[in-house]
Amino acid sequence: MKLAGVWLPVITPFLNDEIDFPSYDGLIDYYISKGISGLIPLGTTGESPVMTEPEFEKIIDHTVEVNRCRVPVYVGVGGNFTNKVIKTLKVVEKYAVEGILSVCPYYNRPDQNGLYEHFLKISEATEKNIIIYNIPYRTGVNLQNETLFRLAEQENIIGIKDSCGNIHQTLELLSEKPENFSVLTGEDILFYTHLVNGGEGGILAAAHLHTDVFLDVFRLVKENDHQSALQRWKGIHKMIPLLFKEPNPGPIKYCLNRLKLIRSSETRLPLTGISEELKTQLDKHCLEKIQQIDAGGAV
């Protein structure tokens, strides 16, 4: 099945430094009811680097149990030691999830051959589907399109979360992507641009807020009503930079807590709470607008 639509890399709520599962389960129900296309737990937005191994598995278990097969689930499983990624993948395989989202190896900065061999070995180790995640500003290495196209020849490498940071590379990718291969943007601010250039959708942390608008933009573009989609997009595109002005997911968690969707805005060290200045900006430019929509106003 080709991946498309608005996918949510769901946050992990904490309360007193423990995973707040009641809030987490509520988020899953809430966003599925909104109409998202799929869930991605344990991404960087879900603060996967600060999860213990037991917590990692508990989150997968909760996600599967609460989801009840309503939407596809892809679990964040990445790293810079190929054999360790494969070992973690075997834990994921115990659960009824569709696949994994796997980031390019970071810090040790492999060349294109190393990147190819890394994802090839992961592909050969599982029957689960794989979405590759290319985000050079976090990993220090860029998966070039030529390498990606070679990897896409593997039956279970079915898509990419593209956060390459280079619009020329992205446009080339969209124009030359293999048949039945999905390109989902991970650059939230480029969602509209990505769609009108032939992209399948996005894996979007910002879709925790104004979820309905993201879904409308996707639907309208696919209906070839680009102008209506653009008008909807103009209502929220200025909000998006605020959500990433300080380390993700701090700003998003602040908003979700203010909206009473989670009980606490806690993050785990080394992430800390957001500044008072940003709280004021989010209150004005994000939360007030959400409240206007809930009251029946237009974006």
Q: Which residues are catalytic?
A: 133, 161
Between CA 257 and CA 19, with CA 12 as vertex, the angle to 5 degrees is: 95
Which structure tokens are listed for 190? 């480029």
Which of 205, 203, 290, 215 shows the shortest CA–CA distance to 12?
205
CB 274 within 8 A of CB 71: no
CB 135 within 8 A of CB 163: yes
Please state whether 85 falls in left (phi above 0), alpha (psi between -120 and 50) or beta. alpha
Q: Which residues contact 242 (CB under 8 A, 6 or more apart)?
A: 251, 278, 281, 282, 285, 286
Q: How far apart are CA 8 and CA 77, in angstroms?
A: 16
User: Residue 169 is inside which H or E element, if any?
Assistant: helix 167-176
Which structure tokens are listed for 149? 């196209």
Between CA 209 and CA 112, with CA 99 as vertex, the angle to 5 degrees is: 95
Q: How far apart are CA 132 and CA 215, in angstroms?
A: 23
CA distances from 279 to 46, 112, 245, 256, 268 (A): 20, 41, 11, 12, 18
Question: Which DSSP letter does residue 206 get?
Answer: G
Which structure tokens are listed for 7? 């996918």
CB 5 within 8 A of CB 23: no
Which structure tokens are listed for 3? 């991946």
